[in-house]
Amino acid sequence: MRKYTPKDNVQAKAYYTDRFWVAPRVPRQAVEDEHFKAVVEALGERVKEAYVEINNLVLHIDATQNYAVLETLKDTCGYKICSEISAVDYLAKEGEFEIFYQMLNLDKAKRVRVVCRLKKGLAIESVVPLFKSANFAEREMYDMFGIKANNHPFLKRILMPDDWEGHPLLKTYPLQGDEFASWYEVDKIFGKEYRDIIGPENRDPARIDRYDTKRFSRVGYEVPFDTDISSGETKTPIEYSTTFLTDYNTGTKQLDKRK
Amino acid sequence: MQVTNKLTPFFENLNFERDDNTMVINFGPQHPSAHGQLRLVLELDGELVTKAYPDIGYLHRGIEKMAENMTYNEFLPTTDRLDYIASTSNNYAYALAVEKLIGLEVPRRAQVIRTMLLELNRIISHLFFLATHALDVGAMSVFLYAFREREFAMDLMEDYCGARLTHSAVRIGGVPLDLPKGWLENLTIYLDKLPQNIKMYEDLLTENRIWKMRLEDVGTLSPEDAMSWGCSGVMLRGSGIPYDIRKEEPYELYGELDFDIPISQSCDSLGRYKLYMEEMRQSKRILEQLIEMYPQTEQKLMAHAPQYISAPKEEIMTQNYALMQHFVLVTQGMRPPKGEVYVPTESPKGELGFYIKSEGEPYAYRLKCRAPSFYHTGLLQEILVGTYIADVVTIIGSTNIVFGEVDR
């Protein structure tokens, strides 16, 4: 039977894991600090779980209450700076995102991380009215994960182009990019019909063809110019991508034999 | 209407034909004063900026995505490419986050060397800021002088790690090399000359009439806005908020060192410029204390944690088990425990923090780089409104943004 490869997480995986390996866990300490205790008390029942993990107080809350919780943190507990907002993709395992807000109290020099879980397809309330830094952070979260923030003043892609398809930090998004990503420049500048004419080998200037002796890439040893270096390699035969030349007058396609 | 075709795409945020007499201009992405790839769409009423929209992403390389597909040690050289003006501070921030996750103790000599490199990088970065900021504003000679000093500092970095820009001088668990012979003497010579050079820059600029006219009350940022926009570093201290992570949440040796945190109440570009000058002096003070600390340390550079970090070379070559562990670490990569960590550090630009979510795999499940410049770029959309077009370059220079870090 062929080995099953999961499609919901296409990121790099460990190629070998000992079957008796159990990963240890970073200790989660109970909340003992005076200030942190006051924070948990101020938030009351909205906190589902609270613990201290590596100097940060971690508060698990419900995703619908994020605005109220951050407002209390800002007004009552003195967390005036929201240093980071982002998400973690758990769609493959649990069908939801984990969203975290990294908060900083300047007077006490304490940090709190507010964590909530959001089901796929749902939107979260924007915290831009509380923290202007959320403006860029939530736009990046939308760009990278596709999580929408309700009532954001200008929710738009920030790092990727406006007409991009897909959200790059999802675990389903391959590292090399998908089909849309690899043809993006060609499609945009010349049009989709030019994919055939340009061909995959001219698409990407950084593409490495291991049988290309002209550019001396990946050969590993010196050969005379234009030598066929594939002889004796039965297991990995030469795989030139086939390029078709389209004649738009007649609508016929013809294999490009110009190599 | 705009005529859109494939070579002239449609920009929905730009409106070229309007009834009022405002004008929309594109600043960048190839503008020399944009400090990299910043495209700034400005709406102007005469010379007054009425709307500013920073468009970023021209240098986006997907470093966070790469982090999810690289083992922890593989990723370290990639962090050089974040803030490429002071790469050791990125290496260090990442290494510190992983060390906190694992719970490693770094040997004291490595700590001394790391702190030295961090402060030397701070000087390099601040000199670069001064040079480019002065050049943007129109003071050409300061650029030449400051780059001369920066070259000497980069020579010191080169003597230590062999690279001038992408240092990778820090490893998870310590540093790879001890200081070479004569390095501390060279550093001492450099530090002895630094104050008179800083004084020369100040003589050229601080009381200079043109410099003051260009910087005073330009780019004013109230403390409330600074906090709300998530500012850090000099941008925060320039608005009168005394918060330096080195002092408030000390890491490495900063808890033992004696240095001051300069703040400025003027909230403008001139105040921030003065802070940069003062911080260079404080870095010199820190480096002098570290030079005295160095001889008192034992000659051990990497932490001992065979599960996570390869043993020293002698052990690998002589002991079978050390070799086996080294083999596993090289081929599979280290597996930190499950958990999440956020560690802030004070990089020359501000609060540089790494959030790492580990699932016990050799690859980080999620790595988020909290880059100070990203938030300082967001600030531009508010701080630029109401200023004149001539001040835009001053304000961008004053925020000291680096686009390797903004776009990641």
Give the position of tokens 């918060």. B243
- DSSP annotation string for B11-74: -TT--SS-SSS-EEEEE-SS-GGGSSS-EEEEEEETTEEEEEEEE--TT---HHHHHHTSBHHH
CA distance, residue A185 to nearest chain B CA (Å)? 11
Q: What is the pLDDT of residues B267-291, one digit of tens each?
A: 889 999 999 999 999 999 999 999 9
Counting Cβ atoms within 10 Å, is residue A45 exposed (0-12), middle (13-18) or buried (19+)?
exposed
Look at A53 and B339 and tell me if their CB atoms are within 8 Å.
yes
B254: amino acid identity, one letter? Y
CA B395, CA B408: separation in Å to the nearest integer? 22
Q: What is the pLDDT of residues B311-342, one digit of tens each?
A: 888 888 998 888 988 998 988 889 999 999 99
Residues of chain B contacting residue A135, judged by C-beta atoms under 8 Å apart: 378, 381
B66, B365, B370 member nearest A88 (Cβ) = B365
| Four-residue CA torsion sign, B149, B150, B155, B161 | positive
User: What is the interface pTM, i.e. ipTM, of the complex?
Assistant: 0.86
Neighbours of B298 (CB within 10 A): 8
CA B144, CA B204: separation in Å to the nearest integer? 12
Per-residue pLDDT, averaged over A221-231, amounts to 66
B350 close to B383: Cβ distance less than 8 angstroms: no
CA distance, residue B312 to nearest chain A CA (Å)? 25
**Does residue A16 sit at the B interface (CB-CB below 8 Å)?**
yes
Reported as type and span, the H/E element at residue A114 is strand A110-119
Residues sharing a CB contact under 8 Å with residue B182, sequence separation 6 or more, in sequence order: none
Q: Is the pLDDT of residue B241 over 80?
A: yes
A25, A56, A106 member nearest B338 (Cβ) = A25
Q: Is the pLDDT of residue B180 over 80?
A: yes
Q: What is the pLDDT of residue A259?
A: 47
CA B85, CA B405: separation in Å to the nearest integer? 10
Per-residue pLDDT, averaged over B55-66, amounts to 90
Reported as type and span, the H/E element at residue A47 is strand A47-53
Look at A136 and B377 and tell me if their CB atoms are within 8 Å.
yes
CA distance, residue A259 to nearest chain B CA (Å)? 30
Q: Which domains does chain A have, with CATH numbers?
A: 34-150 (3.30.460.80), 183-255 (no CATH)
B73 close to B334: Cβ distance less than 8 angstroms: yes
Q: Is the pLDDT of residue A239 over 60?
A: no
A131, A158, A159 member nearest B228 (Cβ) = A131
Question: Which class is domain B63-304+334-370?
Answer: mainly alpha
Neighbours of A7 (CB within 10 A): 8
For chain A, positions 27-66, list CB contacts with chain B under 8 A.
Answer: 28, 53-56, 58
Element counts in chain A: helices (H) and strands (E):
7, 9
Per-residue pLDDT, averaged over B81-99, amounts to 93
Interface test with B, best of A94, A133, A176, A195 (most B CBs within 10 A): A133
Per-residue pLDDT, averaged over B42-55, amounts to 88
Residues of chain A contacting residue B101, judged by C-beta atoms under 8 Å apart: 26, 54
pLDDT above 90 covers what percent of chain B?
A: 54
Look at B353 and A15 and tell me if their CB atoms are within 8 Å.
no
- DSSP annotation string for B354-391: EEEEE-SSSB-SEEEEE-HHHHHHHHHHHHTTTSBHHH
Closest by CA position to A90, among listed B338, B359, B336: B359
CA B309, CA B302: separation in Å to the nearest integer? 8
CA B108, CA B352: separation in Å to the nearest integer? 23
Give the position of tokens 């940060």. A56
CA B280, CA B351: separation in Å to the nearest integer? 18
Nearest CA in chain A to B328: A16
CA A63, CA B122: separation in Å to the nearest integer? 40
By mean pLDDT, which of A15-24, B5-14, B371-380 is the weakest? B5-14
For chain A, positions 131-170, list CB contacts with chain B under 8 A.
Answer: 131-133, 135-137, 140, 144, 157-162, 168-169
Q: What is the pLDDT of residues A170-214, one digit of tens each?
A: 988 888 777 788 888 888 888 888 888 877 767 766 665 555 555
Look at B353 and A159 and tell me if their CB atoms are within 8 Å.
no
Interface test with A, best of B66, B241, B375 (most A CBs within 10 A): B375
Mean of per-residue pLDDT scores for chain B: 89
CA A42, CA B254: separation in Å to the nearest integer? 33
Look at A23 and B69 and tell me if their CB atoms are within 8 Å.
no
Q: Is the pLDDT of residue A37 over 80?
A: yes
CA distance, residue A9 to nearest chain B CA (Å)? 11
B66, B342, B365 member nearest A102 (Cβ) = B342
Q: In chain B, where are the structural domains located?
A: 63-304+334-370
A25, A113, A133 member nearest B339 (Cβ) = A25
Instruction: Determine the length of chain B.
Output: 408
Q: What is the pLDDT of residues B98-125, one digit of tens each?
A: 999 998 989 999 999 999 999 999 999 9
Per-residue pLDDT, averaged over B394-401, amounts to 90
Give the position of tokens 């939801």. A96
